Amino acid sequence: MNGLLTFTRLRVEDSARLAALLALASAADRTLFHPFEFDEDSLRSVLAAARDDLLVGVSAQGVTDLAALYTLRGLDDGYASPMFGVFVSPTRRRCGVAALCITHAITTARLAGCPDVQLKVHHDNSAARALYARMGFQPMREMGGQAVLCKSFASPPGAVA
């Protein structure tokens, strides 16, 4: 794999690539990441409906397969704060891809004028919880057996402190 990663907003024509990535999800992965159905038809519908919501594919330069997906969702439903989610291919885990996705998502949301980014994480997902804590996410509340975490932006982009 080439070390240069590319972030691309996914479109309907990317539904097969996205389905191939999500097909790598184990049963355990599916209990931790389940924003939508993983079949190609469902993914095509999700991608077609997205206006302000983002589904971003991460791939290595020159490689067709996706290494990861991150989402910023909820904006299409009128929420000011997007809900973040990430899935990294099992072969690309533990090498910084998730942290890079989080940084990219935070920057994207901040530049779009969002006040913060939120996410839900299962209590038993200790690796993700530790990563989110390192990235500055703070606990907000509990929701359906999951912790809702938030990364707030203290000032708008470009503001002088």
Predicted confidence (pLDDT) per residue in 18-73, tens digit: 999 989 888 887 877 777 778 889 999 999 999 999 999 999 877 778 999 999 99
Residue 29 φ then ψ, to 5°: -55, -40
Four-residue CA torsion sign, 51, 77, 33, 128:
positive
Question: Is residue 156 scored above 60 in pLDDT?
Answer: no
Looking at residue 58, the DSSP 8-state letter turns out to be E
pTM assigned to the model: 0.88
SS3 string of 63-84?
CCCCCEEEEEECHHHCCCCCEE
* Of the candidates 35, 60, 66, 54, the residue with the CA atom closest to the CA atom of residue 111: 54
In the chain, alpha helices (H): 15-22, 27-32, 40-49, 97-111, 126-134
Q: Which residue has the tokens 């929420």?
A: 79
Q: What percent of the chain is modeled with pLDDT above 70?
A: 94
The residue type of 47 is: L
Instruction: Dump pLDDT digits (tens) for 1-22.
Output: 457 889 999 999 999 999 999 8
* Of the candidates 122, 134, 2, the residue with the CA atom closest to the CA atom of residue 62: 2
Q: Which domains does the chain have, with CATH numbers?
A: 5-152 (3.40.630.30)
The two three-digit tokens of residue 46, written as one number: 């999700």
Do residues 98 and 88 touch, judged by C-beta distance below 8 A? yes
